[in-house]
Amino acid sequence: MKIVVSGTPGTGKSKFSKKLAKELKFKYLDIKTFSRKNKIYDKIEKNCLIIDEKKLVKELKKLKGNYVIDGHLSHYLKADYCVVCKCDLKVLKKRLEKRKYSKQKIKDNLDAEIFDVCFIDAKKIQKNVLVLDTSKGYKMEGIVRLIK
Ligand SMILES: Nc1ncnc2c1ncn2[C@@H]1O[C@H](COP(=O)(O)OP(=O)(O)O)[C@@H](O)[C@H]1O
Ligand SMILES: [Mg+2]
CATH number for 121? 3.40.50.300
pLDDT of residue 87: 98
Q: Which residues have CB less than 5 Å away from ligand 2 (the ion)? A: 14
Q: Give the predicted TM-score (pTM) of the model.
A: 0.96
Q: What is the pLDDT of residues 116-142, one digit of tens each?
A: 999 999 999 999 999 999 999 899 999
Q: Domain for residue 105, yes or no? A: yes
CB-CB contact of 76 with 56 (8 Å): yes
Q: Domain for residue 117, yes or no? A: yes
Give the domain range for residue 98.
2-138
102 pLDDT higher than 90: yes
Question: How many Cβ atoms sit within 10 Å of the Cβ of residue 108?
Answer: 15
Q: Domain for residue 79, yes or no? A: yes
Q: What is the pLDDT of residues 6-47, one digit of tens each?
A: 999 999 999 999 999 999 999 999 999 999 999 998 888 877
Name every protein residue with a CB atom under 6 angstroms from any ligand 1 atom: 7, 9-15, 85, 95, 134
- 52-89 in b/e form (b: 16+ CB < 10 A) is eeeebbebbeeeeeebbbbbbbbbbbebebbbbbbbee
In the chain, the number of structural domains is 1
118 SS3 class: helix
Q: Domain for residue 144, yes or no? A: no
60 pLDDT higher than 90: yes
pLDDT of residue 82: 98
- DSSP H helical segments within the chain, as ranges? 13-24, 31-37, 53-60, 89-98, 103-114, 117-125, 140-147
Q: Domain for residue 94, yes or no? A: yes
**From the CA of 37, how far away is ligand 1's center (Å)?**
24
pLDDT of residue 103: 97
Q: Domain for residue 8, yes or no? A: yes
